[in-house]
Structure 1
Amino acid sequence: MGGARPQDPVRPLVSRSWSRVLGFGLDPTHANARDPLPRAEVERRRQASPLALVVDEVRSVLTSVADASRFIVVVTDADGIILWREGSAGVLRTADRLGFCEGATWTEDHVGTNAIGTALAEQAPVQLFSAEHFEEGQHPWYCTASPVHDPRTGALLGVVDVSGPALTLHPALVALVGTAARLAEAALWRHHEQALRRVRRSAEHVLATTSGPLLLVDDDGWVAHHCGVLVRDRVAAPRADRPVSVPGLGLCLPERVGEGWLVRPGASGSSLRARLHEVAGDTVLDVTGSDGASWRVTLTPRHATVLRALAAATPHGRTAADLSRDLFGDDEHRVTVRAEVSRLRRVVGALVATAPYRLADGVTLVDGS
């Protein structure tokens, strides 16, 4: 950017980011497009973000020293969109001129190398100083960012960032921002435990009169209560019209109870008969439980082919290589097969078991095409 090699080598982190950004075609001499979202969309994203539960705790750690230290605190979602921002009034005004405002997207493909976007790309804490930023307009800044993950699933939820004038950078900020991110994750886990307690309270009247074995789970399949079965942290997310397969319980059809789901063996989950046939040009799967409960799903032709292959397999099931040969005539498409089976299981639930791939115990498939 300066027309000559720097005296000191560029850090590998920065070099990787610059290479990515150059591939996006961004111009380092101009402010690239910010295009902040409308206020209503920012508010919608705030309400939908799990970080809304813990943003006050992040503020309590960081903003108490923001004015004295001349920095601002920023929290984004997993898309790199700034949802919350506060801190030193003077730094906020400078940030506004830079487009570093609520609703703006600060990913690398929008604004070049910056701590938020690079932390999202690297999935790791990042600190950038002055000319390590790609855009020249960001050179007067430092920024320190740390990703925040869902402690239950590991999913990326967003980024906590501290930014300010480059000459005010304090060496303790990396540790401070990292601490704020870890406290946010710990607080999210506490909220998760509180939610499971609410699920248990809402189902107390049923649990008091129901004998095991059973599980009580939340909408995401996290276990709030167990009885008569080896406890697990989580099962497949329950739905009223989809069976789940649970080690020790077998094939079960979840029942809505209070704020959670009761998962237990019984007549409704002991056996399922699935019929594959054509209806008005679509391939549909009609599923009937042994108690008469039934539901219908529409399948893609590929998913119907996978089900037929599994129905024709031996009790030992099919490996990814086996299914690759069934579908493509060779065993070179194993990655594609795994993706297809994963998508199929999101549609038909536990009718399909894995390791190896097969119809679950208690499932009978009839091909009526």
Structure 2
Amino acid sequence: QPRALVRRSWDRMLRLGLDPDGANARIVADEAELETRRRKSRLRLVVEEMRSVLLRAPDAAPFILVVTDADGVILWRDGAASARRQADELGFVEGAHWSEAKVGTNAIGTALTEEAPVQLFSAEHFEASQHPWYCSAVPVHDPHDGTLLGVVDISGPAMTLHPAVQSLVTTAVRLAEARLMIAQQEALNTLRDRMSAMLAGTSGPALVVDDAGWVAYQQGVRSRDRIEAPAADRSILIPGAGLCLPEKVTGGWLLRPTGDRRASVTLRMRQDPPVLDIHSGTDPLVVPLTPRRAQILAAVTSAGSAGISASDLSQRLYGDGDHVVTVRAEVSRLRRSVGALLATRPYRWAEGVDARVE
């Protein structure tokens, strides 16, 4: 009988209709897409350190080191020349999509699906072509917010598996996560020092954040440690400052008020599709809404300053309290459009927002 982890994965593969005899097509990103994914990955900051830890003598052990992004795309691959040649024959190359949905049960794809360390040996792989291999994979998470960044994997010929391999990969990942935390703090300190000097002679509210929305410096405003990730074409509501238009600076964003410190929103339910008009002393922003998202905002508006819980919102939208996960996912997607105008825990309009429904 297969292990429970393997059985769960095989069940997923059968539902997907994958072929265990290896007729599943390999999808490989082109060079441009691969480079774009590498630039966007925070793992680029630690890949060399992982190489130094896991591949001190690349040809001394017959295995390869693989680092993927959260989609299972192989960003970097290095290691013993003999193992690399065998991996080439399998399509286990840089740029390859190595998720479960593409190549069946494998340590990388299964670790991404389970968000847990996975070691697979030989015939535990779904594809017969992968049976000559072992794979030990450990997910890497952002140490600040827990976001899944990708997977670190060691793979090699099945008969060369050493009992310490999984522990070695786990240790390397923990070191990488610690290094990512240090790197982010160093970057925030650099951004704070530079921007605080630039803003020293100015008055008025200002907030400086990195590209992910982590706060490096604030002047005349009260903010949490993190706001939504800024984008050049979308205003963000900052308590005490009102709607702010992000301005790109080296290493992050500068946010300053665009006008009135209060914002007003009008939910126009009768339009097709419904829209949300946002005013704050400048030209209004118009956000198109799906009917479901309009219903959510209508419920939030009717709840007033007391707000509405995910359970109560589920009851209102679906007639029961069993859709809390669905509600949270929908609100999360909605906040990508309206940002910090919509507060959470409970769901409500943020301080300084006047809301009405028409």
* CA pair 282-174 structure 1, distance change in 2 beyond 3 A: closer
Structure 2 portions without partners, runs of 5+: none
Corresponding residue for residue 44 of structure 2: 52
The reply to whether residue 131 of structure 1 matches residue 123 of structure 2 is yes
Partner of 2:348: 358
- 69-78 or 311-320, larger mean C-alpha shift: 311-320
Which residue matches 2:332?
A: 342
Aligned length: 356
CA distance in structure 2 between the partners assigned to 1:71 and 1:364 by the alignment:
60
Secondary structure of the residue aligned to 2:56 is: helix
- Name the structure 1 match of 2:278: 287
Structure 1 residues 292 and 118: alpha-carbon distance in aligned structure 2, compared to 1, 3 A threshold: closer
Q: 1:253–1:269: 8 Å Cα contact kept in structure 2?
A: no
CA offset digits 1:93-132 (Å, max 9, x no partner):
2222222222222222333332222222222222222233
Deviations 1:197-216 (A, max 9, x none): 33224413344235798653
Within 5 A, what are the aligned runs for 1:229-248?
232-238=224-230, 241-246=234-239
Q: Alignment partner for residue 169 of structure 1, among 156, 161, 165?
A: 161
Given that residues 275 and 285 in structure 1 are in contact (C-alpha distance below 8 angstroms), is that contact kept between their aligned partners in structure 2? yes
1:58-69 equivalent positions in 2, closer than 5 A: 58-69=50-61
One-letter amino acid matched to 2:354 = T
8 A Cα contact 1:66 1:73, kept in partner: no
1:316 corresponds to which residue? 306
> Is 1:146 the counterpart of 2:138 in the alignment?
yes
Deviations 1:115-174 (A, max 9, x none): 222222222222222233333332322222221222222122222222222222222222
Cα pair 1:78 1:156 within 8 Å, conserved: yes
Structure 1: stretches of 5+ with no match in the other structure: 1-8
Question: In structure 2, which of residues 218, 238, 263 is the aligned counterpart of residue 272 of structure 1?
Answer: 263
Q: Which amino acid aligns with 1:358?
A: R
Is 1:220 matched with 2:215? no
SS of 2:113 mapped into structure 1: helix
Q: Which residue of 2 aligns with 1:195?
A: 187
Q: Distance in 2 between matches of 1:286 and 1:145?
A: 47
Q: Letter of the 1:19 partner, please give it.
A: D
What is the percent sequence identity of the aligned residues?
55
Alignment root-mean-square deviation, CA: 3.3
2:135 partner SS: strand
Residues 288 and 68 (structure 1), Cα distance of their counterparts in 2 relative to 1, 3 Å cut: same
What is residue 74 of structure 2 aligned with on the other side?
Answer: 82
Distance (whole Å) between structure 2 residues aligned to residue 315 and residue 230 of structure 1: 19
Deviates more, 1:190-199 or 1:304-313: 304-313
- How many angstroms does 1:292 deviate by? 4.5
TM-superposed deviation, 1:360:
2.6
For residues 267 and 96 of structure 1, the distance between their equivalents in structure 2, rounded to whole angstroms, comes to 54
SS in 2 for 1:70: coil
**Which residue type is aligned with residue 244 of structure 1?**
L
- The change in CA–CA distance for 1:106 and 1:298 in structure 2 (over 3 A counts) is closer
Which structure has the larger Rg over C-alpha atoms? 1
Do the aligned residues in 2 keep the contact of 1:242 with 1:253 (CA within 8 Å)?
A: yes
**Letter in structure 2 aligned against 1:157:** L
Seen in structure 2, the aligned counterparts of structure 1 residues 305 and 96 have a Cα distance that, compared at 3 Å, is closer
- Find the aligned partners of 1:334 and 1:17 in 2 and give their Cα distance: 26
Q: In 1, are the aligned partners of 2:69 and 2:149 still within 8 Å (CA)? A: yes
For residues 363 and 106 of structure 1, the distance between their equivalents in structure 2, rounded to whole angstroms, comes to 45
Structure 1 residue aligned with 2:83: 91
* In structure 1, distance between residues paired with 2:87 and 2:231: 46
Distance 1:222 1:64, change over 3 A: same
Q: Name the SS of the counterpart of 2:149 in structure 1.
A: strand
1-structure distance, mates of 2:50, 2:332? 36
